[in-house]
Amino acid sequence: MSQAGAPRITAFVCNWCTYAGADLAGTSRLQYAPEVRIVKLPCTGRISPLFILKAFEGGADAVLVSGCHPGDCHYTSGNYHARRRWGLLRKLLDLTGIDSRRLQFSWISAAEGQKFADLINDLTAKVREAGPFAGANPARKRLAPAPEEAQGPRRES
Amino acid sequence: MTPPRCPPPPRGGAGDIGYYPGCSLAGGAVELDLSIRALARVAGAELREIDDWNCCGATAAHSLNHDLAVALPFRALALAEAQGLGTVLAPCAACFSRLKGTLVRLGRDPGLAERAARLAGLPFQGKVRVVSINGFINGLLADGLAGTLTRPLPGLKAVPYYGCLLSRGEGINEGEDPESPSAMEGAIKAAGCSVLPWNFATECCGGGFSMSKTEAVMDLGGAVLSDAKAAGADLVVVGCPMCHSNLDMRRRGAMPVLYLSELLGLAAGLSPAALGLDRHFTDARTVCAGGRP
Amino acid sequence: MSRLGVFVCHCGENIGRTVDCAAVAAAAARFPGVVHSVDYKYMCSDPGQSMIKKAIADLKLTGVVVAACSPRMHERTFRSAAAQAGLNPYLLEMANVREHCSWVHADRAAATAKAVELVRLMVEKTRRDRALRPVRVPVEPTAMVVGGGIAGIQAALDIAAGGKKVVLVESGPSIGGHMARLSETFPTLDCSQCILTPRMVEAASHPNIRLMTYAEVAAVEGFVGNFEVTVRRKARFVDPDKCTGCGDCWNRCPQKRIPSEFDAGLGARRAIYVPFPQAVPNKPVIDAERCTMLKQGKCGLCAKVCPRGAVDFKDRDRLEKVKVGAVVLATGFELWDHASYGEYGGGRLADVIDGFAFERLASASGPTGGAIKRPSDGAEPKTVVFIQCCGSRDEKKGLPYCSKICCMYTAKHAMLYRHKVHDGEATVFYMDIRATGKGYEEFVRRAIDNDGARYVRGRVSRVYRRQDGRLVVKGADTLAGRPVTVLADMVVLADAVRPRRGSERLAQLFGVGYDQHGFYSEAHPKLRPVETAAAGVFLAGACQAPKDIPDAVAQASAAAAKTLGLFSQPQLEREPVIARVNRNLCSHCRSCVHTCPYGAVKDFEVKDRAGSVLKVVAEVNEGLCQGCGTCVAVCRSHCIDLDGFTDEQIHAQIAALEAA
């Protein structure tokens, strides 16, 4: 899977539900596409929109944000705060020309290993279809290597 | 023509109420039609029959085809809307139940309006209110009819009978407990009668079995009237043509059964003949005399 | 300058099969700040841990990344190893290369590449880790139990038996709760008062328990270990220190017809009253709403006859602050009001009663002395219909849940009725019989087989009163597939169990979650059934969900055990994942104050030496903060950060992905 152009997915997940859900996918030996990188946070409420924008700027082709189901937040209401924030962020992405399909929000509980695996597979397929994220942001062009280089070997294989 | 953003100005009088008589009011329940129209005249309310109205779909349509059962009342309501009628009165309880039920269903299922509009061949924005006989009369009373009731009937003890169509169906009976409705009580008291507590206000009259299983209707209607009698009532007040025929005709002679509009009409001093009381199977003369023999 | 060690675990074959661990260790060795990188078969084994400890000591590591299983599995193990080697345990992080990598990917090259990146993420994080100390807060070793029913009494007694002080707050004039109102209890038919009243007396006389009856929680401040609860002590108008409970006052009170709440309105009480003869404390209160002296200034008879001069009409509500370290909520339940069931008479039929009214009729201490007499005319009912699930399992009109206790108490009612009225007929309408406790199914069978209760499966559609006074009960027998009509003299409705009115307000005061019905939410439905989301607040009894007595008592003892566990150490130790405010940057927009689900962020006045306020900033209370970080994300001036998950660390992780 490490050929050029393999999509890069950054996942911001909460410690209590989705991280544990991903653990369950592991203990259940569910196979899914290997392009996802998980950044663990205590709660989706901790996630600043800046993290997501930075991830895109840094070359992520898609970003996944996932936490506890509404009503199940370990911290009572962090996921509600997050949900409200994402509503706005989506609009911002539309404005900046970033295809909002590249940003996936989801609720995955500690019991939903299968859902996690399915979601990663779906998202990977979706991003493959959409192609690599060229970066609507000129700032990225400054910071990131030229597109040809970025297409180069991303994985040490 | 694209529908205007605001409702079009009414073509008739500003306060016109759309009138949906349905089949009963032209057939078995002529007295309901007479008494409603007469009462409306007393109150100064203009009833304007919906032009080209069609069957509400009661009894047959809703047991055969759900979309058609909505499309039929949908068409009648769409016509009313197009004719500038913001309120539609359906005096027949079955018509009311179909028309009001259609509004409720349209609100619940967003795709339904499109399907019904296709079947009916007319658009409908949902800007029509549907009122029952009880809602209509209570509205008239609130608007001043109460002051014109010059011939109250204080000697009479009445029981209100709602049956099923005026009280049941989710969303039909806004704000009222379908198990113990009370919409008629104020109007009966306004007519000067006393309202007795009883047990059969929402029990079944036999309904559509009137033709096919007359025996069952005799039993059910009989139970309703026996409880009214045991409660000490002089008359039963109804709002539904089906209830009326089952209690008045099938249990002939048991007890006078009056439409709410007839009772209010008497209290307003209208003649029994003008209200169609002479059409009843059960003699209602004691009622006309205000309880005096 | 960081000196990190990376330790890659093979987990036997579990990681090593798909991930080239040696390659990962080799790649990690080249990451900035890494001075030592090795792989080993079993990192969590003794030799594995020793390897880490030795490296920490020998190479003076400033941080460690263990690439192994999920941190949920072994983070604690490795952190304590690090601590033993003298490294602050919060400077050790784990990269999850098993659950998140080797177990879910088959392609060895891709899995290895991913593992390298996962290690890199954690290296970047660990480089920016700060040494953290567990948060320690002192504990006030006194518990408050709110609610003096059987659950509250049990919790209080257990905590007191553990040697800790308890304040038992009860809103009514007496403790005892609903259990004191019951006649006999299923499935053994123990006399309820006989088993309860000794507990009530014990609670009142226990040196470690302080009773605060006729009192309610008015305000709560503080946090686990250090709550300050303001209790409103309602005016009793009787000085409990002077009163001997002789009864002269209530025997003379001219207000004789006040329906007794204790007797479900079937009996009467006076304006000055004790709710029931075995009340604890057995000292009266005056019902200010009904006392003519308090309302109109006329009467005062009770004050005149009191030999001790205990009556004081000038008494007022008082607020008292109590410092406690833990709280047990045991506020119990009440019955659904069947007034909304027009088909069952809507509460207007005197002979249609609820379960508590039947308990009082059947109770030897009840208004009829234990004789079953119907309320309307006092006649002995020869036919009684019991209707289960009135309000329960009824999504349209009532509540969607099962009230759990009704199947059992209805069977008990039918049994008691048959014991007292030998020629009586008991008919029970039920939807399902849920008799899942010890001896419960046998109990229901006994009601049916030995006591001749007639069970009809089906709903009742209507209950009405015939002119002769008998009740007509119309329903369906869904097993026989036909409608049934029963002529009854009395109908008993098994009204649904719901939380006590006002339970939401109390939950808000303590920061406890509750569901849409008002039942308090436990921290975890399976594994933390007595804790709440609010640290130091525990649950007991029917305030959490419908419960029978054994369940309520069991949970109360569990809550007491949790409380005693909390009190077993002088200080509490908590994970140091806590938000911190940079006072220099805070612009006092208060977004964090509004956002914090725990009310942990408060205003703080920065003062100069003279004591005048220079500015107001946000401050996080370490005891209340649970470390979710929601405040960090809403902070406009980036002045709040979360220990363990700082902005710098997360951005470094994101950047590490970019560089990869």
C484 pLDDT more than 80: yes
Q: Does the pLDDT at position A156 exceed 70?
A: no
Mean pLDDT in chain B?
Answer: 88
CB B124 within 8 A of CB B117: yes
Considering the domain C335-498 in this protein, what is its CATH number? 3.50.50.60
Measured distance CA(C413)–CA(B109) in Å, rounded: 46
Is residue A101 domain-resident? yes
DSSP assignment of C366-378, as one string? STTTT----TTT-
- pLDDT above 60: residue A153: no
Asked if C464's CB is within 8 angstroms of B177's CB, the reply is no
Query: Looking at the domain assignment, is residue A2 inside a domain?
Result: no
Phi, psi of B55 (to 5 degrees): -55, 140
What is the domain count for chain A? 1
Chains C and B touch (3+ CB pairs under 8 A): yes
Say which of C346, C465, C466 has its CB closest to residue B180.
C346
Fold equal for C135-232+319-332+500-573 and C335-498: yes
Residue C187 touches partner A, C-beta closer than 8 Å? no
Mind listing the pLDDT tens digit for each residue in A59-106?
Answer: 899 999 999 988 778 887 888 999 998 888 988 888 888 888 899 999
Which pLDDT value is given to residue B117?
93
Q: Does C346 touch chain B (CB under 8 A)?
A: yes
Q: What is the pLDDT of residue C60?
A: 95
Q: Is residue A72 part of a domain?
A: yes
Phi, psi at C285, each rounded to 5°: -125, 160
Tell me which of C69, C75, C99, C641 to substitute to probe the interface with A (most A C-beta atoms closer than 10 Å): C99
Per-residue model confidence as pLDDT tens digits over C53-107: 999 999 999 999 999 999 988 999 999 999 999 999 999 999 999 999 999 999 9
Give me chain C's average pLDDT, please: 95
Residue C257 has pLDDT above 70, yes or no: yes
C521 touching A, CB under 8 A?
A: no
Rounded average pLDDT over B16-22: 93
What's the pLDDT band for C199 if we cut at 50, 70, 90? very high
* pLDDT score of C660: 63
B93-139: per-residue pLDDT in tens? 999 999 999 999 999 888 899 999 999 999 999 999 999 999 999 99
**C chain contacts of residue B177, beta-carbon cutoff 8 Å:** 340, 342, 346
Helix, strand, coil content of chain C in percent (nearest 5): 30, 25, 45
Q: What is the residue extent of each domain of chain B?
A: 17-133, 151-288
In angstroms, rounded to a whole number, what is the distance separating the alpha carbons of residues C563 and C458? Answer: 45
Please indicate, yes or no, if residue A74 is contained in any of the structural domains: yes
The fold of the B151-288 domain, in CATH, is Rossmann fold (3.40.50)
Q: What is the pLDDT of residues C213-232, one digit of tens each?
A: 999 999 988 888 999 999 99
- pLDDT band with cut points at 50, 70 and 90 for residue B15: low
- The 10 Å CB-count burial string (b at 16+, else e) for B158-194 is bbbbbbbbbbebeebbeebbbbbbebbebbbebbbbe
Mean pLDDT of the region C632-656: 94
Interface touch C346/B231, C-beta < 8 Å? no
Q: What would the pLDDT profile of A100-136 be if each residue is shown by its tens digit?
A: 889 999 999 888 899 999 999 999 999 988 888 876 4
pLDDT score at C575: 84
Taking contacts as CB-CB distances below 8 angstroms, the residues of chain C near B200 are: 464
pLDDT above 90 for C260: yes
How does strand C258-259 pair with strand C209-212? unpaired
Residue range B17-133 in CATH 3.40.50.620:
no
pLDDT at A1 over 70: no
The rounded distance, in Å, linking the Cα atoms of C533 and C258 is: 42
Q: What is the CATH number of the domain that holds A89?
A: 3.40.50
Separation CA C181–CA C374 (nearest Å): 18
Where does the pLDDT of residue A5 fall: very low under 50, low under 70, confident under 90, or very high at 90 and above?
A: low
From residue C235, give the alpha-carbon distance in Å to each of C147, C172, C503. Answer: 18, 12, 22
Q: Which residues of C touch A60 (CB under 8 A)?
A: 657
Whether pLDDT at A155 is above 60: no
The tally of CA atoms less than 13 A away on the side-chain side of residue C185 is 16
Total Cβ atoms within 10 A of residue C657: 21
Nearest residue in C to A57, CA atom: C658
Q: Is C480 on the interface with A (CB under 8 A)?
A: no
Q: If you average pLDDT over residues C128-144, what whole number do you get?
A: 92
User: Which has more confidence, B14 or C160?
Assistant: C160
User: Does C4-127 carry CATH code 3.40.50?
Assistant: yes
The CA-CA-CA angle for residues B278, B281, B285, to 5°, reads 50
Question: Which C residues in the span 115-154 are in contact with A, Cβ-Cβ below 8 Å?
Answer: 116-118, 121
**What are the tens digits of pLDDT across the range A47-56?**
999 999 999 9
Assign B4 a pLDDT band (cuts: 50, 70, 90). very low
Give the number of beta-carbon pairs within 8 Å between A and C: 136
| Annotation: CATH topology of C235-316 | Alpha-Beta Plaits (3.30.70)
C404-450 pLDDT, tens per residue? Answer: 999 999 999 999 999 999 999 999 999 999 999 999 999 999 999 99
Q: What are phi and psi of C417, to 5 degrees?
A: -60, -45
Average pLDDT, stretch C459-466? 93
> In chain B, at which residue ranges do the beta strands (DSSP E only) sit?
17-19, 47-49, 87-89, 129-131, 157-160, 194-195, 235-238, 257-259
ipTM value for the complex: 0.86
Could you tell me if residue A1 is inside a domain?
A: no
Comparison of pLDDT for A136 and B274, the residue scoring more = B274
In a domain, A152, yes or no: no
Residue A4 is assigned to a structural domain of this protein: no
Output the six-digit token pair for C560.
Answer: 């007491």
Architecture of the domain defined by C579-643: 2-Layer Sandwich (3.30)
Contact A41 C103 (CB under 8 A): no
Q: What is the pLDDT of residues B145-168, one digit of tens each?
A: 988 899 999 889 999 999 999 888
pLDDT of the residue at B12: 43
List of chain B residues whose C-beta atoms are within 8 Å of the C-beta of residue C465:
199
For domain C135-232+319-332+500-573, give the CATH number.
3.50.50.60
Contacts of C391 in chain B (CB under 8 A): none
CB B6 within 8 Å of CB B223: no
How many C-beta neighbours within 10 Å does residue C18 have?
25
Helix (H) or strand (E) holding B226: helix B214-231
The ranges assigned to domains in chain C are 4-127, 135-232+319-332+500-573, 235-316, 335-498, 579-643
Nearest to A26 among C104, C113, C647 (CB): C104
Span of A69-83, B5-19, B259-273 with lowest mean pLDDT: B5-19
Is there a domain that residue A133 lies in? yes
**With an 8 Å Cβ cutoff, are B203 and C462 in contact?**
yes
pLDDT surpassing 50 at residue B64: yes
